[in-house]
Every structure is written in structure tokens, then in C-alpha cells.
Amino acid sequence: MHLNNFAWRTVVFLLILISGGYTTFPSPADRQIAGIYFDKAYLLIKENNIGEAENLLNISLEFYPNYSDALYLKGLTIEKNREKAYEAIALLENALNNATWERFSKKQCILKLSEIFLRISLPEQSFSILQELEDEDRGDRDFIFLYARSLKDIGKIIEAKNLLREAVLQFPEDERIHRILLEVDPLYKYELIQKLEDHLDKGEYLPFPSDPMLLLDIIKKTCSVGLKREFIDYYFSVGGRDPEIFVEMLKTENEPTKSLVDQFIDTGGLGRLNVAREFYQYLPNEELKQYFLQKSSNFSGEMILDIEGDGYYNEKYMFSEGSLGRWIVDHNQDGIVEYEVSFKEGKPEHIDGIHSGMFVNATFLEYPVVSSVTLEVGGTSTRYKIIPGRLDFNFYDGGDSIISPPVMNYEIDTISTEYLRSISESMEEVYTDDYLKVIVEPILRDRLWKRMILKDRGEGKHILFFHQGIPERGVRDTDGDGVFEVTETYRDGKLYSILYDGNNNGIPEYAISYAEDREVQLWDFDEDGIFDCREYISED
């Protein structure tokens, strides 16, 4: 039997590994060969030929498995281009433990590990790894920035603020330090606003602040409309082009025009879901909103939800001519997809790519029923809506978690009245999954619903009463204790008001009204029968 070249090399390599000497004491020739492959990979990475570079790094590590520089460079490659955070961490930690540095250094490796830990919300690990740096390596701006972020994220705000207050004096032109100080010290924004105002009053376009990202942060924190306009002009003068700036412009424009919508879309605003939502919400009239929807209706490309604003997606939506094709979720940004939903003609069709440590229940009903995904992590359920259809910012939920007051424990809009009307009289169990079980009590007249009962798996109950097939009233027992804390009223089949009486004393402490086509939320904090707080919510 003849072995091919790859198999022969594998056999020889395994025999050497079994002998035990290769891994710990590679020969000078092996080190030299590993170095040659490393140098070639390094050049390829500079040319952005990542795939071939990684192949060469793998060969380099075959000859010299403990080669810290190759382990470090491969870790950077994987983390940057594939977003495989945990694989990158393992490689970098291996490089750190072997400490055979020639091209790179222990400090560079620790700082990179800290950066990744912070990105995937592991600030304790970031704080711990930074402690391994020697005192002489702790004085530069990169260490201070990462150390301050770690302190902030583990709740040591005062320590972070004190460190950053000294750092802005030591490194006044490092925009990152100013930006994080803005996060931990609410008063610092006034100092920066005053400093920028003084520069503009004197007609000085000084080097600081000239970073567009820092300027955008200052603009967002500026309340004065006049100052905000001045700062926006300055922002454009230093080359700023982030789509978020057009949201700030909407806050200053009395009569924004369609050209502002065009500029927002031309700068890639539709690719940033959270920014696009905010821009749409600030459009002051229906004409501009319709123009925005028309311009975005044929959007093709990726739409990213980046909650932390760090350039890595939490959720990704892939559109073709305005129709959603795929929805990918990586909540903790570790490169491991929790789940992926594929769509056909805008309707959810299939779910896969589920992380083994999580349980996902997916239910895909026919349009117009809103489909849903339930994600369970550690016994806690989070429900997500998947909206069928096109790119529509009027109702497009984008997969955000539904965080609701107690009265909204179950989402009645997951089942449409039209769908229920079409169900056969003999069918009692309409819909069931691990989150919600719907049982219909078939009290019908002329094939129209009189009453239906919805039960969740925690034995909570929701009863809807119908007249001629249209809902008129509803009651809810949210915790399964037999007491209906919630009362609902409907007008013309639409939900009109919700009253929540958690203490069952006849005095609602919370209410929602949908009168006049807008939502009003009311609170009675002392339960004296008088609502103390009233909040008006509308699309405008």
C-alpha cells in the first residue's frame, strides 16, 4: 500500500509527536522552516490574502507548535476575519503560555486578549489578564483605554473615572480616552462642549477634537439646537460621514427635505438597523416617512444590528430587493451563531445553526399570523417576533426582544382573529408550543367566535369574549392564581384599553389606552384612584 504525500507527512508528524521531543525542543532547522512560512504568511496578511496566509501559518505550526508569533498571528486572523472569538482566545492564550516571542510580544498578546474579552462581555477576564502586565507596560494609552473599559464594565466607575481624568491630561489627543470618559463621567460632556464652542467662537479648527466619532458623541449629547448645528458643520468639515449624523440633523431641522433622506440612504444608513429605525422615527411627517419607505423598499444587502457600536453584529438581516432572506443572531458577538432563520418570499421557512447550550422553539404559521421564536437560556425564556413581508419600519420589529409590563405576558397578536374564524368548530387546540398553549372553548354562533381561552405553560389564562366574531372584551390571569388582574376592552375589533389591577382591590395601578390612534400609558403609584403619571407615545 502506498501512502500519498499528505498521509505520509501526517504519519511522520504523529510519530515525532509520540516521541515527545518535537513539541518541546524543535530543531534549529524546524524553527528556521517555521520562520520562513511565518514570514510569507505575514506578507500575505498585509496583502489581505487571509485564506492562504492561514494555510501557511498552519504549516509553520506543524514544524514549531509552540511558536508564539505564529499562534498570535493566527489568533488575530481568525478573530478579525471570522469572528471566532473563542478559537482566537485559545490560540492567544497558547501563545502567551509558550512565551517564545520573536516578532511580537507578551504585551501585544495580552492587550489583544483584553480587547476580545471586552467585546464578548467578559470584563472580569479582561481585568484579570491585564494584571499580568509589568509596571513598565502599564503607562501607554492602549493599556489605559482597555483597563478603564474593564473597570467600567465590572462596575468600578470611580476608579475608571479617576484613571481617565489623569489620562486625558497625559494623552490629550487620544480620542478613545475622551469617549470612554464621556461614558463614566456625566459632567465631562459639558467640558467638551465648552471646549469645542470656544474653538469655534475663535474660528480655530484645532487638532482636537477632530475625530469624527468623538465629535458625533459630543453632538448627540448637545441639547442646544444652535450649538448642535454649529458642531454638525464642523463634523462635516473634518470628514465625518456616519449615517447617525443625519439623525442629529433631523433634531435641528424645522422642515427637513427629501434630500436629507437621500443622503442618509446614500451613506449606508439602511445597513445599520438601529440607526435606520431612529432616523425613521424622527422623520416629522407622513410624506417623508412614505418617501423613506419607498426609497428603501428595494434594499439589497446586509442590515446589521450592532447594539454596542463596536463594529460586530448582534443580529444580521440579509435582504434582496426589499425582501428578507436570512436572519442571523449572535447576541454575545463570539462568532457562534445562536440561530439562523431562512425566509422564502418574506415568510419564515426554516431555522438552524442553534447553539448546543440553548433551546430554541420555532413556530412558523401562515401569513398574516406573526411567527415567533422562543429562545431559552438557563431556564429564562425570551420571545422574538419574526415579521413576515417586506422592509417596513412602521411595524418591523427586527427580532428585538419583547420586553413588556406584566399585562403583556402573552402576545395576542401572534394569533389573528381572521385565522381563528377559519378554524373548524371541532378543533379545540388551535396552537401550542413550549411558550404558549391556545385552547379554544367552542362557543360559536353562525360559525363566529363567542369566547376563546388562551393558556400559557405557567397556567396563566387569557379569555377573550367576541360579538359576531369580533373581540369586545378580555380578561387575564397573568400568574395562574385564579384572579384576573387584567381587563381589556376592544373597539371595532381593535384593542382599546388595558387595566392592570395587581392587588385585586378594584383600583388599577397601571393602564394603557389606544384612543385617538396613539398609545397612552398611565400609572397610579399610590393607588388612590388618580393616575399620577401619564406618558403619550406615538410614531411621530
What are the mean pLDDT values of the chain's consecutive 10-residue runs (540 residues total)? 44 42 67 92 88 91 93 89 77 92 93 91 92 83 94 91 91 87 86 79 62 85 85 86 92 87 92 86 88 85 79 80 78 71 67 50 41 50 45 32 23 34 37 42 43 58 68 76 79 80 77 77 76 70
Give the position of cell 400559557. Answer: 456
Q: What is the pTM of this model?
A: 0.55
| C-beta of residue 157 within 8 angstroms of C-beta of residue 133 | no
Cα 282 to Cα 286: distance, rounded to the nearest angstrom = 11
Burial 492-529 (b: 16+ CB within 10 A, else e): eeebbbbbbbbeeeeebbbbbbbeeeeebbbebeeeee
- Which pLDDT does position 110 carry in this prediction? 95
Cα 393 to Cα 293: distance, rounded to the nearest angstrom = 7
Q: Tell me if residue 197 falls in helix, strand or coil.
A: helix
**DSSP code at position 27:** -
Q: Which three cell numbers stand for residue 411?
A: 402576545
- Which pLDDT does position 451 carry in this prediction? 58
Q: Is 311 exposed, middle or buried (0-12, 13-18, 19+ CB in 10 A)?
A: exposed
Q: Tell me if residue 365 falls in helix, strand or coil.
A: coil
Q: Is 486 exposed, middle or buried (0-12, 13-18, 19+ CB in 10 A)?
A: buried
- Which pLDDT does position 15 carry in this prediction? 40
Q: Which residues, listed in sequence order, are joined to residue 304 by a DSSP beta bridge?
A: 272, 316
Q: Which three cell numbers stand for residue 464?
A: 377573550
In this structure, the strands spanning 436-445 and 359-363 are: unpaired
In 3D space, the residue among 300, 252, 243 whose CA is nearest the CA of residue 274 turns out to be: 243
DSSP 386-406: E--SB--TTT--TT-B----G
- Which pLDDT does position 265 carry in this prediction? 92
Q: What share of the chain is helix, strand, coil (3-state, %, to 5)?
A: 45, 20, 35
Cα 298 to Cα 511: distance, rounded to the nearest angstrom = 39
Cα 263 to Cα 260: distance, rounded to the nearest angstrom = 5
Q: Is 90 exposed, middle or buried (0-12, 13-18, 19+ CB in 10 A)?
A: middle
Contact residues for 115 (Cβ-Cβ < 8 A; gap 6+): 126, 146
Q: Which three cell numbers stand for residue 417?
A: 382573529
Cα 540 to Cα 520: distance, rounded to the nearest angstrom = 14
| C-beta of residue 222 within 8 angstroms of C-beta of residue 200 | no
Q: Is 277 exposed, middle or buried (0-12, 13-18, 19+ CB in 10 A)?
A: middle
**DSSP code at position 437:** E
- Which pLDDT does position 351 carry in this prediction? 61
Alpha-carbon torsion (464, 465, 469, 471), positive or negative: negative
**DSSP code at position 272:** B
